[in-house]
Structure 1
Amino acid sequence: MARQCDLTGKARQANHKVSHANNKTRVFKQPNLKTKKVFDPESGQTIRLKLATSTIKTLDKLGLSKFLRKYYK
């Protein structure tokens, strides 16, 4: 399974680690993912999702239905 947020699609980013001598080594920044159970009031089911912590904060603020309406038009 990919290290990717199930709702937003946030995935790893490629960056460079730069030394004092300006040597560049490629590194990957991983998203902060957590497994969370989310209750869907429309279907009445609990869904297990792999979400970024920033997405979890937005879900807690808006709720699942408002989040989906706002970001998936």
Structure 2
Amino acid sequence: MSKVCDITGKRARVGNNVSHANNKTKRRFYPNLHTKKFYIPEEDKFITLKVSTTALRTINKHGISAVLNKARKNGNVLV
């Protein structure tokens, strides 16, 4: 299962671990993802999405229906 947000499209980024001696080794920065179930009253069903905490805040602010419509228009949502 990939570590990509279904709403925002956030995915893992690449960076460096930097030691005290300034040695650099590759590492990955993962998004803060949570698997969450949402109820959509228009479709009268539940859907499960893997969303980042930023997407959760957006859903709380605008509502799940508006966020899903915008994400579908951008091509991010798989459902």
| TM bucket normalised to smaller | 0.7 to 0.9
Q: Give unpaired runs (5+ residues) of structure 1.
A: none
Report the 3-state secondary structure (helix = DSSP H, G, I; strand = E; otherwise coil) of the residue aligned with 1:66: helix
Cα distance in structure 1, aligned partners of 2:69 and 2:47 = 18
Deviation at 1:24, TM superposition (A): 0.9
Counting only pairs closer than 5 Å after superposition, residues 1-73 of structure 1 correspond to structure 2 as: 1-71=1-71, 72=73
**Taking every aligned residue pair, what percent have the same amino acid on both sides?**
44
Structure 1 moving runs of 4+ over 4 Å: none
Per the normalisation by structure 2, the TM-score is 0.78
**How many residues are paired up?**
73
Which has the larger displacement, 12-21 or 62-71?
62-71
CA-based RMSD: 1.6
Deviation at 1:40, TM superposition (A): 1.5
Report the 3-state secondary structure (helix = DSSP H, G, I; strand = E; otherwise coil) of the residue aligned with 1:37: strand
Cα distance in structure 2, aligned partners of 1:45 and 1:70 = 19
Q: Give unpaired runs (5+ residues) of structure 2.
A: 75-79
